[in-house]
Structure 1
Amino acid sequence: MSDQVQQPVDPNENPYGYMGLAKNPDGSITRLFQPPSTPASSDPSSPFHLSKDLDINQSKGTWARIFVPRKAFDDDDSSPKQKLPLIIYFHAGGFVACSVNTARFDALYTPIVTEIPAVVVSVEYRLAPEHRLPAAYEDCFEALHWIIKNSNDEWLEKHADLSKAFLMGSSAGGNIAYHVGLHVAACVDELLPLQIKGLILHQPYFGGIERTESELRLAKDRVVPLTLSDLLWDLSLPIGVDRDHEYCNPMAKIKPDQFDQVKSLGWKILVTGCDGDLLIDRQIELWKKLEENGVPVAGKFDEGGCHGYEFGDPSKAKELAITIKDLVESTTTS
């Protein structure tokens, strides 16, 4: 595999090529290249944050990158330090592509770590189609147990407040944060001292059989068109299920008591999106359904933009980080 920068590919014409994939005759894929990556750095001269990588489960190839604001290392070690909220982050990539260390994700990591400020643990989960859903959910839930077991890690012990933790994800990661969050709500006692206070679902990736207005309106989008979205679901869902399966369309089969545990825990949920993203109708549907069911939820939906807009616009990334900061502060001070 090559790390070289590839020429732009139209996802409407060649969704496999756009994702850096080739389809094999047996239905499997070959990964042709990986997007540029950024190594972890514990260089104390870093202007924003220090980071390091730790294995979660070597047999699965899962790991995590921990980010801590550089300023957290500036204080005199002899003085007591106020620990920072912990954001457990699940990356984008349609369940099929990208990694914790994908370089463009730095555009979001940095303002989250520095603006809130917070300790961020970004989780590397197994990708589809080699590992179809629910593999990513299982890996990310396992990561929560790993955080508990490694809470004596020097960085986590000194800087992260495990009682003020949040699950966050972008795109496919937002889908993961939603599903893992519901599972966590049903077993909070087994995760102590880790205490989740809320979910941050940034442009979460959901689908369904029936097309929405935004999916039809933006069917030929150059960032995430319908052809690409359809391909990603085909590669990531369990074999034989349709797109009204709960992993893809959690709104299709809502249970009467589905959000009772989330409400009883007092979690707050943030759902964000923009109307230049063909996924926005499903994101708004989730926000409204949560609101109808009495869940404390905020929706922030911008005009214009596109899916993953924050990775190419530092001002939008900072704006998102400030919105997240407001949620974190409202939760941890109430």
Structure 2
Amino acid sequence: MSAETVPLPSITDPYEYLQISLNPDGTLTRRPNAYPRTSATPLSNISTEVLSKDIPISPEKNTWARIFLPKQALVDPMSANKLPLLVYFHGGGFILGSPDLTMFHEFCSNIASELPVMVLSATYRLSPEHRLPAAYDDGMEALHRIKTIQDDWLRDYADYTNCYLMGSSAGANLVYYVGLRAAQEIDNLFPLKIKGLILHQPFFGGVQRTESESRLVNDPFFPPCVSDLMWELSLPIGVDRDHKYCNPMGGGGSFTILEKIKRLGWRVLVTGCDGDQLIDRQIELMKMMEEKEIQVVGRFGVGGFHGFELVDSSKAKALHVVLKNFMLSSM
């Protein structure tokens, strides 16, 4: 029986659902064993198709990244052709998540193998200890760090001129805002050359409920009460869900920066499904970019739920095809 057919109860306590508790000082206690983790896969592991290792980004902020390299790149005589570089940011509503969580480790490993590409999955500081825009700052720092770090895998196998930014859920929100910043700092990112942004089930919101949010108000996988709590814990104190970080349709100056993305020729992929309460906001974002004449591609499926491709490898295979076609058409 698939996850989509298992009946689940309605969520009444989003804290319990997320397995977190709020402390008096405003920090979170996250249950350490709530989500399984996977260690990096070293060169000595001969049974895997993808190798991985961790590199530091900012020791002061305790941020780091996990690199995924298809083993075939090490043994293929044609490996002189470097791999596209996919910089990935995990989901978790800005309050949870890490590249070593098993769901994100396996998701990135499978992308690296199937496309094939080199994936660099970067951490960012979590809220509410570090509220937005801290995650966006860390995303930009990761891009600047990639171009300067002395790492043999990046040096030997990554094609810096063929770079894509991808994120899932909150990570896709991060990619959107980091993309806006990167478009303004493009000369400072050399030799990185960004070709496109991939927004995988992006996490956005607003004060006024959309039709899909109302329709899925009791969704057992990701109802609005859970996303509301995530925004409450991650947005700057004193603002509501119509702040630009949550609701890009509110303006806040990003519309003019989108013109820069248009001039750079970046392509944007937005994916989603109608079983996700966020689909209306995702489609709205895509249409807004279309109006700005950005080269945007939308891929929206029937059924599913928020994050389903992260937990169902058979569904992820269809996403791999979409990603491969998008990247090939951006070259």
- Map Cα deviations across residues 238-288 of structure 1 (whole Å, 9 max, x no partner): 000111111000111165523111011110000000000000000000011
Unaligned runs of 5+ in 2: 1-7
What's the TM-score once normalised by structure 2's chain length?
0.94
- The verdict on how the C-alpha distance between 1:226 and 1:82 changes in structure 2, with shifts beyond 3 A counting, is same
- Map Cα deviations across residues 174-219 of structure 1 (whole Å, 9 max, x no partner): 0000000010001100000011110000000000111100000001
Paired position in structure 1 for 2:4 = none
- Map Cα deviations across residues 2-61 of structure 1 (whole Å, 9 max, x no partner): xxxxxxx96722211221211234443222224110000123413320000011111101
Asked if the contact 1:11/1:18 (under 8 Å) is kept, the reply is no
Moved over 4 A (4+): none
User: Match of 1:283, SS?
Assistant: helix
- Provide the rounded CA distance (Å) in 2 between the counterparts of 1:80 and 1:217: 49
RMSD: 1.7
Paired position in structure 2 for 1:4 = none
2:148 aligned with 1:166, yes or no? no
- The verdict on how the C-alpha distance between 1:11 and 1:139 changes in structure 2, with shifts beyond 3 A counting, is farther
Write the mapping of 1:217-296 to structure 2, written as runs, cut at 5 A.
217-253=215-251, 255=253, 257-296=256-295
Letter in 1 for 2:20: L
Deviation at 1:159, TM superposition (A): 0.7
Asked if the contact 1:171/1:205 (under 8 Å) is kept, the reply is yes
- Map Cα deviations across residues 216-250 of structure 1 (whole Å, 9 max, x no partner): 00011111111101100000000001111110001
Paired position in structure 2 for 1:41 = 41
- Provide the rounded CA distance (Å) in 2 between the counterparts of 1:84 and 1:26: 45
Deviation at 1:85, TM superposition (A): 0.3
- Map Cα deviations across residues 136-177 of structure 1 (whole Å, 9 max, x no partner): 100111000110111x41101111000000000000000000
Deviation at 1:312, TM superposition (A): 2.3
Paired position in structure 1 for 2:19 = 20
Tell me the number of residue pairs that the alignment of Structure 1 and Structure 2 aligns. 322
User: Match of 1:169, SS?
Assistant: strand
Letter in 1 for 2:183: A
Letter in 2 for 1:306: F
Paired position in structure 1 for 2:116 = 117
Letter in 2 for 1:318: K
User: Match of 1:257, SS?
Assistant: helix
Write the mapping of 1:98-113 to structure 2, written as runs, cut at 5 A.
98-113=97-112
Write the mapping of 1:304-319 to structure 2, written as runs, cut at 5 A.
304-319=303-318
- The verdict on how the C-alpha distance between 1:155 and 1:26 changes in structure 2, with shifts beyond 3 A counting, is closer
Asked if the contact 2:26/2:129 (under 8 Å) is kept, the reply is no
Asked if the contact 1:88/1:165 (under 8 Å) is kept, the reply is yes
Unaligned runs of 5+ in 1: 1-8
What's the TM-score once normalised by structure 1's chain length?
0.93
